[in-house]
């Protein structure tokens, strides 16, 4: 069931748009008309096909995502309640998008949003973990290259060729072929009784005579292909299906390679030899005139040598004078010419005699012209037969080929999430009534896990200790811990595995993350309180993370405000962590667990030696002197003198 603002879509009901925010009757009607009605819109929603809505004129991608989110009841903005939490959510999305290769997966990823539906969350986590396992067994880089910018198949625009013509017998036949769209490929003319018809047809390089009765007589006309009008449209004009496959050939080749890598059965391999066959049919023709001339070169010399060895009688000499070749000479001509005719037949498929029996041998130009016309006609008919056969084969696999492309495009969503989970080494969280992180890592550090300076974090909040103060060294990792917890909580409720060796997460209704604030003037302070204080006035379960808010006002007032806030969180089912440098002051007003990240000194490169995992029930010092010492060691002599005087006071 999908619900928004009282709008309900039950199973079997039609999707309604009018009550969606920003969608009135006019835009609703435009969307329904564009997608082909309410039933098609319901299919689009079920397939989460944002692309189809985004392709509607006047609807941006962001608007399409908002529409889809509302139809799917994805409460993205209801869960995330602060600017910093929203920034962290968007950063998670952007990190996943970096693995997306198609518009389809990009839109599906943009739709990922936190939920409190445990069944939905666990189903999605299981899906991503299965994808991670699958990706781990695949050649990721090669697959990513093949997947990049994959799009759905395109129907190419018909290529019009005015040098060829379709001839039909009646206007009815003409209208029929026009309705099939074949006039987009060639002009269609109807036969008439006009004596000029034959002359008009001679202006075309090729005539496709599409007959219904076969009443027209074109005997002897070159370049004529006869086709029965009862054939399918792609058999009459094979280009209609062939152009579809050649236009999408690169796409089909890539999807074929992807399917092989995935170990899937595929029919796309059948396309390659068919297209290859089409690519060579125009190159098979032998140049008859060139062949005849090349064979003539040695004939005269061969003829001369043979004749020199012939003894002629008196009457044979008289016949020769009367230009009648005697039988002995005719036999020599026959032997030499027949040998060349055999070669010509083998190379061209035509049996003809292009040589005149003269010395030197001459070529019969009229015979060459005759056979060239016959060759051209046969070639066009042969090419048409090959194209027709190809079109029949290709049409038989067209539907399955399109399905395979759609399947691989949809696989990119799985591949993107799996790649993200695999490369960041994410693990499935468990859900309960506490927060318990072991070997947790900020996403910015997760890809550098093997770096010796990268430390994982362990941390815990429970029902009994649902809020804590976090103290310790400057630059020690307090802010990183808060952001890590925000990332893990949001990702878990998005149905994603998380950046932790183990993680137990409590499901929340809302999440707040407030980053460091400098001192605020009176107006800004009031605005902040109007946002901050209402957090504790509702019964919803919240995760509240506050990062050094003491700068909101002067110290004593800040302590009173924050301590009151702490007490109210303690009394609720919400959880919270407050990073602060005024833990001692707060402890005077409230009883709260204090945890600390302790810095032990500087290493040889003046980096803090610190355990990023907080010690429980431990008040850690800020140790600003360590930061001062690091700056002192890296400063020039003049500045060193200043920092040295400051350090003397610690």
Instruction: Name the binding residues for ATP.
Output: 472-479
Dihedral angle computed from the Cα positions of residues 108, 111, 115 and 117, in that order, rounded to the nearest 10 degrees: -40
Partners of 593 in the β-ladder: 468
Pick the closest to residue 296 from 340, 329, 332, 338 (CA basis): 340
CA dist list (Å): 154 to 105, 409, 594, 627: 19, 14, 62, 61
Evaluate whether 115 touches 420 at the Cβ level (below 8 Å).
no
Q: Is the distance from CB of 401 to CB of 267 less than 8 angstroms?
A: yes
Which regions of 337-481 does DSSP assign to beta strands (E)? 355-356, 362-363, 430-431, 435-440, 457-461, 467-472
Q: Which long-range contacts (CB under 8 A, 24 or more apart) does 5-14 make?
A: 9/42, 9/45, 9/71, 14/38, 14/39, 14/42
| Cα dist from 589 to 544, 555, 564, 569, whole Å | 20, 13, 8, 14
Radius of gyration for the chain, computed over Cα atoms and rounded to the nearest angstrom: 41
Residues placed in the known binding site: 472-479
Separation of alpha carbons 575 and 466, rounded Å = 5
| CA distances in angstroms from 129 to 420, 438, 452, 498, 507, listed in the order given | 11, 19, 27, 11, 20
**Distance set, CA 400 to CA 250, 265, 397, 497, 578 (Å):** 17, 11, 5, 34, 58
- Are the CB atoms for 618 and 598 separated by under 8 Å? yes
Residue 334 φ then ψ, to 5°: -60, -45
How many whole angstroms from its chain centre is CA 171?
Answer: 47
In whole angstroms, give the CA distance from residue 472 to residue 608: 12
What is the C-alpha to C-alpha distance for residues 144 and 419, in angstroms, rounded to an integer? 10
Beta strands in 291-434 (DSSP E): 355-356, 362-363, 430-431
Give the number of other CB atoms < 10 A from CB of residue 72: 16
In sequence order, the 6+-apart residues with CB closer than 8 A to the CB of 133 are 418
- Beta strand 608-610 with 599-602 is antiparallel
Q: DSSP of 255-319, one letter per residue? A: HHHHHHHHT---SGGGHHHHHHHHHHGGG----HHHHHHHHHTTHHHHHHHHHHTPPPPHHHHHH
CB distance 169 to 213 below 8 Å: yes
DSSP string, 74-133: --HHHHB-SHHHHHHHHHHHHHHHTT--SHHHHHHHHT------HHHHHHHHHHHHHHHH
> Are the beta carbons of 66 and 22 closer than 8 angstroms?
yes
Helix (H) or strand (E) holding 597: strand 593-597
């Amino acid at each position: 069931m999908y619900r928004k603002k009282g709008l309900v879509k039950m199973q079997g009901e039609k999707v309604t748009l009018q009550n969606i925010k920003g969608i009135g009757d006019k835009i609703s009607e435009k969307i329904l008309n564009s997608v082909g009605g309410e039933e098609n819109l319901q299919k689009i929603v079920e397939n989460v096909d944002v692309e189809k809505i985004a392709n509607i004129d006047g609807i941006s991608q962001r608007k399409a995502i908002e529409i889809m989110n509302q139809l799917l009841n994805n409460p993205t903005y209801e869960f995330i309640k602060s600017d910093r939490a929203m920034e962290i959510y968007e950063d998670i999305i952007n990190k996943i998008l970096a693995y997306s290769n198609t518009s389809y997966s990009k839109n599906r990823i943009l739709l990922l949003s936190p939920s409190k539906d445990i069944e939905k969350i666990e189903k999605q986590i299981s899906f991503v973990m299965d994808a991670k396992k699958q990706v781990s067994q695949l050649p990721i880089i090669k697959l990513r290259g093949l997947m990049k910018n994959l799009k759905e198949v395109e129907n190419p625009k018909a290529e019009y060729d005015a040098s060829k013509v379709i001839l039909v017998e009646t206007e009815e036949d003409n209208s029929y072929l026009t309705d099939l769209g074949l006039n987009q490929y060639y002009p269609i003319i109807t036969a008439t009784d006009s004596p000029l018809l034959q002359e008009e047809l001679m202006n075309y390089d090729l005539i496709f005579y599409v007959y219904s009765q076969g009443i027209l007589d074109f005997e002897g006309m070159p370049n004529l292909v006869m086709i029965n009008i009862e054939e399918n449209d792609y058999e009459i004009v094979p280009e209609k299906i062939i152009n579809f496959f050649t236009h999408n050939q690169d796409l089909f080749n890539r999807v074929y390679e992807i399917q092989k890598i995935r170990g899937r059965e595929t029919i796309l391999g059948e396309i390659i030899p068919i297209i290859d066959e089409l690519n060579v049919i125009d190159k098979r023709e032998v140049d008859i005139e060139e062949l005849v001339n090349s064979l003539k070169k040695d004939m005269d010399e061969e003829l001369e040598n043979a004749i020199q060895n012939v003894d002629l009688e008196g009457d044979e000499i008289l016949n020769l004078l009367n230009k009648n070749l005697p039988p002995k000479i005719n036999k020599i001509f026959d032997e030499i010419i027949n040998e060349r005719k055999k070669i010509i037949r083998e190379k061209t498929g035509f049996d003809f005699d292009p040589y005149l029996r003269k010395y030197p041998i001459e070529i019969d130009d009229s015979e060459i012209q005759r056979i060239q016309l016959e060759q051209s006609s046969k070639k066009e008919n042969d090419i048409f037969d090959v194209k027709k056969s190809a079109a029949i084969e290709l049409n038989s696999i067209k539907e399955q080929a399109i399905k395979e492309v759609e399947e691989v495009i949809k696989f990119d969503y799985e591949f993107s999430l799996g790649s993200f989970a695999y490369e960041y080494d994410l693990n499935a969280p468990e859900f309960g009534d506490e927060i318990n992180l072991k070997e947790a890592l900020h996403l910015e550090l997760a890809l550098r896990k093997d770096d010796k300076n990268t430390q994982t974090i362990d941390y815990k909040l429970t029902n009994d200790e649902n809020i804590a103060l976090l103290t310790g060294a400057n630059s020690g990792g307090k802010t990183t811990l808060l952001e890590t917890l925000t990332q893990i909580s949001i990702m878990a409720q998005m149905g994603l595995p998380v950046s932790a060796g183990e993680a137990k997460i409590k499901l929340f209704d809302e999440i707040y993350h407030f980053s460091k604030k400098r001192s605020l003037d009176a107006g800004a302070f009031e605005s902040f309180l109007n946002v901050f204080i209402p957090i504790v006035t509702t019964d919803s379960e919240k995760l509240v993370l506050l990062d050094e808010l003491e700068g909101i006002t002067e110290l004593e007032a800040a302590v009173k405000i924050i301590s009151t806030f702490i007490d109210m969180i303690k009394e609720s089912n919400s959880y919270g962590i407050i990073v602060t440098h005024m833990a001692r002051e707060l402890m005077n007003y409230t009883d709260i667990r204090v945890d600390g990240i302790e810095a032990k000194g500087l290493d040889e490169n003046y980096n803090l030696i610190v355990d990023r995992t907080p010690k429980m029930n431990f008040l850690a010092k800020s140790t600003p002197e360590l930061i001062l010492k690091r700056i002192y060691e890296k400063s020039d002599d003049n500045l060193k003198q200043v920092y040295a005087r400051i350090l003397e006071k610690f």
